[in-house]
Amino acid sequence: MAVVCAKCGAPLGEGVQFCAACGAPVSAAPATGSGYTPVNIPSAPPAAAPPPPAAGSPPLAGYTQVNTGVPPGGMPPSAGYAPAAAYPGQPAVQSSGGGSALKIILIVLAIIVGIGILGAGAFGFVVWRVAHSIHTHAKNGDFSISTPGGTFSGGGTSNFTADELGADLYPGAEATKGGMRMNLPTGSIISGIFITSDSKDQVLNFYKGKFGSDASIFDGADSAMISVKKGDHETVMVTISNRASENDGKTKISIVHTTNKHTS
């Protein structure tokens, strides 16, 4: 009865240990048609598969290189992205937006500084003109200032007339410091300060008789005020005070005469 190889089916001679066709080992195999299937028992485990070839290297013998669609250098950059640096250390491209903003800031600062210098120069020129247009004079505690817009004087015990004050001087009163004269293109303000030994009520009654019934009167415990309007452009106001702690207990009289040259 003929014996065949369990692997390739080639007929085997009697007593052979390996198939002459495929080289498979032969065990005691039953005859064909006996109902048994020969078993192929390998003499050694199969060798491990070699690793796949690296990208860009030639294929190993016995292998066929598969075209994956990826170039050897890697995937191309996607649309809308800047390409990477060609080599390490290559400087990145910087945007010029920061430099432009810095230039604008410097220009604005320069303009502000220039305006400040011009403003300081203009202010200094105005001060210089005013200083050269004012003439002052001081003597015995009195002072006077003359400007293109008018004159101002006072400080000492200047003598004032009834015409300047717009009212009669209280009999026996003495002039004291604090009076002034101011003459402006729009009008004038003249005030005189006086001291008397008479009481507040005596002084108030004197000016009530001088100003008449048109006067406005305020009478307090230690002070009083009486004023009268003369025409449309002239006002006289007399303030009277008598306090024990001031002026050695004497009565103080302040007369202010105001004129307005503008007609309404």
16 with 128, same domain: the answer is no
> Regarding predicted confidence, which is higher, 82 or 194?
194
- Domain's final residue, options 113, 133, 153: 133
Residue carrying structure tokens 């009083």: 224
Residue 167 lies in a domain: yes
Q: What does the pLDDT read at residue 92?
A: 53
Residue 205 lies in a domain: yes
109 with 170, same domain: the answer is no
| Residue 111 Cα distances to 58, 64, 98, 120, 177, angstroms | 70, 75, 20, 14, 53
Mean pLDDT calculated for residue range 2-28: 79
Residue 153 lies in a domain: yes
- Containing structural domain, residue 110: 102-133
* CA 259 and chain centroid, separation: 50
Rounded Cα–Cα distance for residues 202 and 211 (Å)? 15
pLDDT in tens, 180-201: 888 888 888 989 999 999 999 9
250 with 142, same domain: the answer is yes
Q: How many domains does the chain have?
A: 3
**Any bridge partners for residue 173, and if so which?**
none
125 with 142, same domain: the answer is no
Confidence of residue 255 (pLDDT cuts 50, 70, 90): very high
Q: What does the pLDDT read at residue 156?
A: 59
Residue 148 lies in a domain: yes
Torsion of CA 13, 17, 19, 24, to 10 degrees: 160
> Regarding predicted confidence, which is higher, 152 or 12?
12
> Regarding predicted confidence, which is higher, 120 or 51?
120
**Least confidently predicted of 30-39, 65-74, 84-93, 185-194:** 30-39
Task: Report the percent of the chain where pLDDT is more than 70.
Answer: 58
Residues near 128 by Cβ (< 8 Å), separated by ≥ 6? none
Residue 90 lies in a domain: no
> Regarding predicted confidence, which is higher, 58 or 234?
234
Confidence of residue 36 (pLDDT cuts 50, 70, 90): very low
Return the structure tokens found at 14: 């009697």
Residue 204 lies in a domain: yes
**Nearest of 193, 212, 209 to residue 256 by alpha carbon:** 193
**Nearest of 263, 251, 255, 260 to residue 239 by alpha carbon:** 255
Residue 233 lies in a domain: yes
Mean pLDDT calculated for residue range 83-94: 52
Q: What does the pLDDT read at residue 22?
A: 86
Task: Report the percent of the chain where pLDDT is more than 90.
Answer: 22
3-state helix, strand, coil in the chain (%, to 5): 20, 25, 50
pLDDT greater than 50 at residue 29: no
CA atoms within 13 A on the CB side of 201: 1
Q: What pTM does this model have?
A: 0.47
pLDDT greater than 60 at residue 216: yes
125 with 144, same domain: the answer is no
Residue 207 lies in a domain: yes
pLDDT greater than 50 at residue 19: yes
Rounded Cα–Cα distance for residues 119 and 110 (Å)? 14
256 with 144, same domain: the answer is yes
pLDDT greater than 50 at residue 33: no
- Domain's final residue, options 82, 113, 133: 133
**Nearest of 256, 253, 257, 255 to residue 194 by alpha carbon:** 253
Q: What does the pLDDT read at residue 99?
A: 73
Rounded Cα–Cα distance for residues 12 and 1 (Å)? 11
217 with 145, same domain: the answer is yes
208 with 124, same domain: the answer is no
pLDDT in tens, 112-146: 888 888 788 777 766 666 555 555 555 555 656 76
174 with 192, same domain: the answer is yes
Average pLDDT of the chain? Answer: 74
162 with 254, same domain: the answer is yes
147 with 127, same domain: the answer is no
108 with 153, same domain: the answer is no
